[in-house]
């Protein structure tokens, strides 16, 4: 094994990301407080039950919405199908907690729904007839409509790469459209759909804002409480460890059920571009209606609710230091995304050129950060810095480094980096998987060094993927709540924290303005890059 | 220092620590010579090329180009530092660049070092790829991609060019023409080349020498005529599949006797003591058809090959013998009919094992 620049870079990056993750796992062996006993005797079963129900419901709903809409826009032409193709990813702009604010604002007693009915039909006792989407149902809807786009994007990309040949084969075997979808198209897209669902699962179990807003007790709440109320970090970590085991078990099971089936397309056998089917009449209307409903519920509804409140209570707009919030948010986003893209890229390339087992294991471990709830990661980071400062830095006679990392932009960006590293790393990795290794070899044989191959061949090839990952990561950072809440410097606010603080003080109207800005910035990001996202998919 | 331009000495070629071809030794005497390596699929031909290109390492032996060691137990020059170009069998064009840009990337190598012996236009004309220059690799056929890849390798003007099944995806109708053009261009550029193929006709046409790889070994390395007519082992005979071995007894300096065919005369390649029992190689062109002959054998099969027929004849001892007859021969013989063999049987070079 020849140690080179790429090996060392990749090694150091992975190691850095692993440290706080290891801190979480090492706490597993520490003794816990009485909280465990208290919880076991009281709410533990409720936490587990709620988490399970939440997870299963969200997975089911995101699967139906994400796969269904992806199927329609990938295989059929109907009115506005080209518009929906990118518009359906706009839901990314609305984080679950803002969706939760919108649901409450619309359906609560004397809320927006009531106002609409009153304006249409005059005064009346409508409150008892307006359904209430709060509690567990509210959380499920908030998370599902916000996160289905993960499944949508990945399923759509997979559908696009399906060759007309396999669809023709289905026709040749006499399959109906439903049968072809069920037995050919869906199984072929299975890995992509599962990848999307796994992201949804991790986000759901780590979700803090919406769960907290609707006061639902889940394992995540348990984790938060054990740290905040009982100061029992070890038990918090143990709970999150079980959470992780649960997710892993789910996906190992899925993996085993695949057995030896192969899902990737064999490029040598020839790819035939798909012909989209033109829908007309009732079918076209139904396809349009389904996509419009998804777009309306996931994006237009929360957007208009937040707009309505902003217009209704304009004083909140003037009370807010919008420019500061915008600068702070963008500052964090740009810094973190750049760092994630650059280091994710270097680490991937290091793994690719070295093909070293140790490096591979280290990288695999390093991407588990995404599955660890932000709360835990932030606390683990503080714990590690405190330990490092006390046991190493001070012993060596240096001044304390706590202030450099805790309550600072640097600390915040570093924890974002750890939290979203797997997103960047895996995203770039999937881009890399499209580059056959013989492309690298051809480049070497044309006299290009490893650095030149990286700069001149890989980066241009991955350009669109990188932009896509950059946007995905940016969206995550714009929406991120618990890490920002815990680690931000004093008096440093973003749109997300401002919205959260207002909502937790029961000032939902005030939360509308930062929420609206958050949605608008995220929407702008999505619109600007949507053509690249789609071009990346070979369209 | 060795006088050969390129040398492979006692090399074990491996992939993932598994030996594919062992103890290989061969050389290319002059710069500009073209040699071919022939063997069945999966035997390790590609591994040999990848190792010479520096994509795989060796643990035994040495590979030397123009006096410089490229690979040995201790030395392993990186692929980018070898000035060796490899055109892969499968499309390895950069998918995000057009065909033209792909080829031009190749021309960046050696742009300062060497005089330009060929430019883009010439290479494009020779390989007939003008119409795909502005297309992306996914928009062209496998055969076109192979020609584009070949163009990219040629334009680099490497010290050593390695071609892995360069025409395997090219249409049969176009293949011979491309072979002619390829031979011309390699000659013109004076590029030392190793071509790997499983097509013996391609190897015999393009290579001044041919290596036959079978059962993890380089069995024979010689000029094409000798490889075909004077195979050095039963494995090579079986691989080329153009003859059969029949039992015979050496009866004199220039004669031997077969139970079914009688006396056969000719020039022995190797001396055998009188009376020794041997296996005689009979190739389809060794026996001549003669309707008037009294040596008649039964036709069991007839293959039409355009320019000729190959009749399979059954001897009294149930041996099946192939015989070549020009397709313009005055009449044809049906299965079960009798087929005359000209006597006395004379074989130019008698190969026995």
Are residues B215 and B247 part of one domain? Answer: no
Residue B265 domain-assigned? yes
Are residues B340 and B199 part of one domain? Answer: no
DSSP state of B129: -
Residue B82 confidence (pLDDT) above 80: yes
Exposure on the CB side of residue B43, measured as CA atoms within 13 A = 19
- The range of the structural domain enclosing residue B38 comes to 6-236
Q: What are the sequence ranges of the domains in chain A?
A: 1-27+313-539, 43-311
Buried residues in A321-356 as b, exposed as e (16+ CB within 10 A):
eeeebeebbeebbebbbebbbebbbbbbbbbbbbeb
What pLDDT does residue A259 have? 55
Are residues B85 and B155 part of one domain? Answer: yes
What pLDDT does residue A255 have? 66
Mean pLDDT of the region A4-26: 83
Interface mutation target, options B54, B74, B105, chain A, most CBs of A under 10 Å: B105
Considering only residues 457 to 516 of chain A, which have any Cβ-Cβ distance to chain B shorter than 8 Å?
457, 460-461
Q: For residue range A190-201, list pLDDT tens digits in order.
A: 888 888 888 888
Q: For residue range A255-304, list pLDDT tens digits in order.
A: 666 555 555 444 444 455 667 888 888 999 999 999 999 999 999 999 99
Instruction: For residue A512, give both structure tokens.
Output: 């509308």
CB-CB contact of A418 with A378 (8 Å): no
Where does a domain end: B176, B203, B236?
Answer: B236
CB-CB contact of B60 with B24 (8 Å): no
Q: Cα B321 to chain center, whole Å?
A: 25
The torsion region of residue B215 among left (phi > 0), alpha (psi -120 to 50) and beta comes to left
Calculated CA dihedral for residues A148, A153, A159, A161, nearest 10 degrees: -160
What pLDDT does residue A272 have? 56
For chain B, percent of residues with pLDDT exceeding 90: 39
Using a CB–CB cutoff of 8 Å, tell me whether A317 touches chain B: no
Number of domains in chain B: 2
Residue A57 confidence (pLDDT) above 90: yes
> CA-nearest residue of chain A to B103?
A446
Considering only residues 447 to 466 of chain A, which have any Cβ-Cβ distance to chain B shorter than 8 Å?
447-449, 457, 460-461
The most confident of the ranges A306-320, B22-36, B142-156 is B22-36
Alpha-carbon distance B229 to nearest alpha carbon in chain A (angstroms): 37
Q: How many CB pairs under 8 A join A and B?
A: 62
Tell me the pLDDT of chain A averaged across its residues.
83
Residue B151 confidence (pLDDT) above 80: yes
Instruction: For residue A128, give both structure tokens.
Output: 């008892």
Interface mutation target, options B65, B86, B145, B194, chain A, most CBs of A under 10 Å: B86
Mean pLDDT of the region A499-509: 86
Q: For residue range A91-145, list pLDDT tens digits in order.
A: 988 999 999 999 998 988 888 888 888 888 888 788 888 888 878 999 999 999 9
Number of neighbouring beta carbons within 10 Å of residue B158: 27
* Contacts with A268 from chain B: Cβ below 8 Å: 90, 142
Residue A28 confidence (pLDDT) above 80: no
Interface mutation target, options A163, A353, A446, A466, chain B, most CBs of B under 10 Å: A446
Using a CB–CB cutoff of 8 Å, tell me whether A445 touches chain B: yes
Are residues B117 and B249 part of one domain? Answer: no
Q: Cα A158 to chain center, whole Å?
A: 19
pLDDT confidence band for B41 (50 / 70 / 90): confident
Residue A426 confidence (pLDDT) above 90: no
Option in A268, A434, A446 nearest B109 (CB):
A446
What pLDDT does residue B36 have? 95
For chain B, percent of residues with pLDDT exceeding 70: 97
CA gap B8, B218 in Å, rounded: 11
Note whether ipTM > 0.90 here.
no
What pLDDT does residue A536 have? 43
Residue B114 confidence (pLDDT) above 60: no
Interface touch A444/B80, C-beta < 8 Å = yes
* Contacting residues for A203 by C-beta, under 8 A, at least 6 apart: A143, A147, A150
What pLDDT does residue B278 have? 93
What CATH number did the domain enclosing B167 receive? 3.40.50.300
In sequence order, what E strands does A120-274 have?
Answer: none
Exposure on the CB side of residue A289, measured as CA atoms within 13 A = 7
Strand partners, A418: none
* Contacts with B153 from chain A: Cβ below 8 Å: 445
> Which one is the CATH code of A1-27+313-539: 3.30.70.1890, 1.10.274.10, 1.10.3720.10, 3.90.700.10?
1.10.3720.10
Where does a domain end: B178, B206, B236?
Answer: B236
Residue B344: cis peptide before it, omega within 30 degrees of 0: yes
What pLDDT does residue A269 have? 45
| Residue tagged 């054990």 (tokens) | A226
What pLDDT does residue A31 have? 67
Instruction: For residue B289, give both structure tokens.
Output: 């058809």
Option in B88, B90, B109 nearest A447 (CB):
B109
Strand partners, B265: B255, B346
CA gap A367, A421 in Å, rounded: 6
Are A1-27+313-539 and A43-311 equal in CATH topology?
Answer: yes
Q: For residue range A439-475, list pLDDT tens digits in order.
A: 888 899 888 888 999 998 999 988 888 888 888 888 8
What CATH number did the domain enclosing B276 receive? 2.40.50.140
Residue A534 confidence (pLDDT) above 70: no
CB-CB contact of A237 with A376 (8 Å): yes
What pLDDT does residue A276 have? 80
Q: For residue range B296-320, list pLDDT tens digits in order.
A: 999 999 988 888 889 999 998 888 9
Burial (CB count <10 Å: 0-12, 13-18, 19+), residue B111: exposed
Q: For residue range A354-404, list pLDDT tens digits in order.
A: 888 888 888 877 877 777 778 778 878 888 888 888 888 888 888 888 888
Instruction: For residue B237, give both structure tokens.
Output: 């005979």
DSSP string, A359-398: HHHHHHHHGGGGGS-HHHHHHHHHHHHHHHIIIIITTTTP
Q: For residue range B223-261, list pLDDT tens digits in order.
A: 999 998 889 888 998 888 778 899 999 999 889 999 888
Are residues B251 and B218 part of one domain? Answer: no
CA gap A339, B242 in Å, rounded: 65
Q: Residue A417: enclosing H or E segment and its boundaries?
A: helix A409-433
Q: What is the CA radius of gyration of chain B?
A: 24
Residue A533 confidence (pLDDT) above 70: no
What pLDDT does residue B220 have? 94
Residue A538 confidence (pLDDT) above 60: no
Where does a domain end: B173, B205, B236?
Answer: B236
Buried residues in A207-218 as b, exposed as e (16+ CB within 10 A):
bbbbbbbbebbb
Interface mutation target, options B51, B94, B114, chain A, most CBs of A under 10 Å: B94
Mean pLDDT of the region A323-339: 92
What pLDDT does residue A240 have? 72
Maximum Cα interatomic distance, chain B, rounded to a whole number of Å: 72
Alpha-carbon distance B81 to nearest alpha carbon in chain A (angstroms): 6
Alpha-carbon distance B332 to nearest alpha carbon in chain A (angstroms): 42
CA gap A373, A379 in Å, rounded: 10
Please tell us whether the domain made up of A43-311 is placed in CATH 3.30.530.20.
Answer: no
Q: For residue range A34-44, list pLDDT tens digits in order.
A: 767 777 777 77
* Contacts with B109 from chain A: Cβ below 8 Å: 446-447
CA angle at residue B266 from B260 to B270, to 5 degrees? 100
* Contacts with B105 from chain A: Cβ below 8 Å: 446
Residue B1 domain-assigned? no
């Amino acid at each position: 094994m020849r140690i080179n620049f790429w090996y060392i870079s990749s090694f150091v990056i992975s190691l850095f990301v692993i440290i706080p993750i290891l801190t979480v796992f090492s706490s597993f062996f520490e003794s816990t407080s009485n909280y465990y006993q208290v919880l076991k005797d009281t709410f533990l079963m409720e936490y587990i039950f709620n988490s399970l129900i939440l997870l299963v419901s969200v997975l089911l709903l995101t699967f139906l919405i994400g796969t269904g809409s992806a199927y329609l826009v990938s295989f059929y032409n109907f009115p506005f199908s080209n518009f929906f193709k990118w518009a359906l990813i706009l839901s990314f702009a609305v984080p679950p907690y803002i969706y939760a604010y919108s649901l409450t604002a619309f359906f609560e007693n004397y809320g927006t729904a009531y106002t609409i009915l009153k304006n249409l039909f005059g005064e009346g006792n409508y409150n008892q007839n307006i359904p209430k989407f709060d509690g567990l149902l509210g959380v499920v809807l908030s998370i599902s409509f916000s996160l289905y786009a993960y499944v949508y994007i990945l399923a759509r990309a997979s559908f696009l790469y399906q060759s007309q040949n396999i669809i023709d084969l289905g026709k040749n075997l006499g399959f109906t459209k439903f049968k072809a979808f069920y037995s050919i198209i869906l199984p072929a897209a299975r890995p992509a759909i599962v990848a999307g669902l796994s992201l949804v699962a991790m986000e759901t179990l780590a979700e803090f804002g919406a769960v907290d807003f609707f006061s639902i007790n889940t394992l995540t709440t348990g984790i938060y409480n054990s740290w905040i109320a009982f100061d029992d970090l070890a038990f918090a970590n143990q709970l999150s460890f079980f959470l992780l085991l649960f997710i892993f078990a789910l996906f190992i099971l899925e993996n085993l059920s695949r057995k030896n089936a192969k899902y990737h397309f064999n490029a040598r056998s020839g790819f035939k571009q798909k012909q989209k089917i033109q829908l007309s009449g009732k079918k076209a209307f139904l396809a349009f209606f389904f996509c419009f409903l998804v777009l309306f519920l996931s994006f237009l509804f929360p957007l208009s609710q937040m707009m309505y409140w902003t217009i209704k209570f304009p004083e909140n707009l003037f009370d807010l230091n919008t420019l500061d919030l915008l600068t702070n948010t963008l500052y964090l986003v740009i810094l973190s995304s750049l760092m994630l893209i650059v280091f994710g890229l270097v680490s991937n390339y290091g793994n690719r050129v070295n093909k070293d087992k140790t490096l591979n294991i280290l990288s695999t471990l390093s991407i588990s950060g995404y599955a660890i709830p932000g709360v835990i990661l932030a606390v683990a980071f503080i714990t590690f810095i405190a330990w490092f400062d006390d046991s190493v830095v001070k012993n060596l006679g240096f001044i304390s480094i706590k202030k450099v990392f805790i309550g600072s932009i640097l600390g915040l960006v570093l924890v974002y980096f750890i939290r979203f590293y797997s997103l960047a790393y895996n995203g770039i990795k999937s881009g890399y998987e499209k580059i056959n290794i013989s492309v690298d070899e051809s480049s070497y044989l044309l006299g290009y060094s490893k650095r030149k191959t990286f700069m001149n061949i890989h980066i241009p090839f991955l350009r669109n993927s990188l932009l896509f990952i950059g946007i995905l990561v940016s969206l995550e950072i714009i929406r991120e709540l618990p890490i920002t809440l815990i680690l931000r410097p004093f008096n440093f606010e973003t749109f997300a924290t401002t919205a959260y603080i207002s909502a937790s003080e029961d000032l939902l109207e005030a939360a509308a303005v930062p929420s609206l800005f958050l949605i608008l910035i995220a929407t702008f990001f999505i619109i600007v890059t949507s053509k690249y996202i789609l071009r990346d998919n070979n369209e | 220092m060795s006088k050969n331009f390129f040398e492979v000495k006692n090399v074990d070629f491996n992939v993932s620590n598994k030996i594919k071809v062992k103890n290989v030794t061969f050389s290319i005497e002059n710069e500009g010579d073209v040699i071919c390596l022939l063997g069945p699929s999966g035997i390790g031909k590609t591994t040999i090329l990848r190792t010479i290109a520096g994509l795989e390492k060796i643990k035994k032996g040495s590979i030397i180009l123009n006096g410089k060691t490229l690979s040995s137990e201790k030395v392993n020059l990186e692929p980018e530092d070898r000035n060796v170009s490899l055109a892969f069998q499968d499309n390895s064009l950069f998918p995000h660049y057009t065909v033209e840009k792909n080829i031009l990337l190749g021309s960046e190598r050696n742009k300062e070092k060497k005089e330009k012996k060929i430019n883009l236009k010439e290479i494009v004309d020779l390989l007939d790829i003008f119409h795909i220059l502005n297309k992306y690799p996914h928009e062209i056929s496998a055969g076109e991609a192979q020609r584009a890849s070949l163009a990219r390798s040629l334009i680099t003007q490497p010290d050593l060019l390695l071609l892995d099944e360069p025409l395997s995806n090219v249409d049969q109708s176009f293949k011979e023409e491309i072979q002619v053009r390829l031979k011309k261009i390699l000659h013109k550029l004076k590029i030392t080349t190793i071509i790997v193929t499983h097509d013996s006709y391609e190897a015999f046409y393009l290579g001044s020498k041919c290596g036959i790889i079978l059962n993890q070994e380089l069995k024979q390395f010689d000029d094409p005529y000798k490889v075909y007519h004077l195979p050095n082992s039963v494995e090579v005979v079986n691989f080329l599949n153009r003859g059969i071995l029949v039992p015979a007894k050496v009866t004199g300096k220039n004669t031997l006797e077969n139970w079914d065919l009688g006396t056969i005369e000719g020039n022995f390649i190797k001396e055998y003591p009188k009376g020794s029992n041997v296996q005689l190689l009979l190739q389809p062109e060794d026996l001549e058809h003669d309707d008037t002959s009294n040596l008649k054998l039964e036709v069991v099969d007839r293959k039409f090959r355009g320019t000729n027929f190959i009749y399979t004849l059954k001897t009294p001892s149930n041996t099946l013998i192939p015989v070549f007859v020009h397709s313009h021969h005055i009449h044809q013989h049906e299965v079960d009919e009798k087929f005359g063999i000209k006597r006395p049987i004379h074989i130019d070079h008698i190969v026995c094992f």
